[in-house]
Structure 1
Amino acid sequence: MANQEDQLFQQLFCLIGELHHVALQRPANKASFRGQGRLVHLLAHNPGAAQRELAVLAQVKPGSISEVLERLEKDQLVTRWRDERDRRIVRVQLTAKGEQLYQENLAARQRFERELLQTVTDQERATFSMVVQKMQEQLQKNYGDLLPKKRKEWQQH
């Protein structure tokens, strides 16, 4: 049994690594620097979010998010402004160019997913999804205190 578990996790970690590598190398990937695509995705689902909220959602330090947002702003993908009610809060939103980038990335990701899953049946997908959900539940049960607090929001989108 332990050998099967080892093999399963080796395959899973290898698959995740390969997916990540291919996603970053594909010409359809419009993210010009690390973290850009993720922030664009988060902003598409959280327009006008506070910069600090984005840092929590992205699971990074507020200072790190500031650097990425500066680059996105320089590329005219986002706009930032001070909240009128509380000037300490900086809000962020995608520009039309940023929304277009999000739509292009979404379409490319969906094509990639279809290519990857073309030989996987609906039943196999459902079974795999159920297995992953059970693993996530056990992870939460046994190691929930070690998991990022806002992970669920990222998974929903």
Structure 2
Amino acid sequence: MGPDDDEYIGYVLSDVARLMRTVFDRRVRGIGLTRAQWLVLTRLYRRPGASQTELAVMLEIDRASAGRMLDRMEKNGWVERRADSEDRRINRLYLTDEARRAHKEMWAIAEATVDDALAPLSERERDQFTRLAARVKGRLQGLAGSNGS
């Protein structure tokens, strides 16, 4: 199987990820957040109190882009900035109550989307797929961390 074949693993993985995002985006459209903002919610849910710089690293975007997105999200009542107790130059980021409710709703939609996508697989196949994908992810993280060597 090669790059001229639609079943080529690189194409399949890319298509699966793209289609998962498309289905998810359609399902959450009514909540009023973009995918990028959903990622901010998810990261801050897991790491409340992260700085703007830390968030930019987590999202793999530059600080200025993160700042613009956070400005919009703060204006819309999703995120609040609080001064760091030890360094007043740093703002710590926290989700508002409304954002935590939206995160909960979006997480349920994300889980349903994954369940729908994996419906053709048996429970055993799902477990195996998850373990194998995690191993591949770990390998790629190692390659990315070592400049691809």
Partners of 1:83 and 1:90 within 8 A in 2? yes
CA offset at residue 107 of structure 1?
Answer: 1.1
Q: TM-score, normalising length from structure 1?
A: 0.80
Q: Deviations over 1:107-140 (max 9, x none)?
A: 1111222222223112111221232233234434
Give the 5 Å matches for 1:73-152: 73-146=74-147
Aligned to 1:18: 19
Q: Deviations over 1:46-72 (max 9, x none)?
A: 111111111111111111111111111
Q: 1:143 to 1:66 in 2, by over 3 A?
A: closer
CA RMSD of aligned residues (A): 2.5
Q: What 5-or-longer segments of structure 1 have no aligned partner?
A: 148-157
Q: Which letter maps to 2:25? A: L
Q: Which letter maps to 1:41? A: T
Q: What 5-or-longer segments of structure 2 have no aligned partner?
A: none
Aligned to 1:150: none
Aligned to 1:44: 45
Find the aligned partners of 1:143 and 1:122 in 2 and give their Cα distance.
Answer: 31
CA offset at residue 32 of structure 1?
Answer: 2.7
Q: In the alignment, is residue 54 of structure 1 matched against residue 55 of structure 2? A: yes
Q: Which letter maps to 2:61? A: V
Q: Deviations over 1:14-66 (max 9, x none)?
A: 21121122222224663533410000011111111111111111111111111
Partners of 1:29 and 1:105 within 8 A in 2? no
Q: Which letter maps to 1:131? A: L
Aligned to 1:71: 72
Percent of pairs with identical residues: 27
SS at match of 2:61: coil
Partners of 2:31 and 2:102 within 8 A in 1? yes
Partners of 2:27 and 2:109 within 8 A in 1? no
Aligned to 1:152: none
Q: 1:51 to 1:16 in 2, by over 3 A?
A: same
Q: Deviations over 1:68-123 (max 9, x none)?
A: 11111111111112213211111110110111111111111112222222231121
Q: Which letter maps to 1:53? A: E
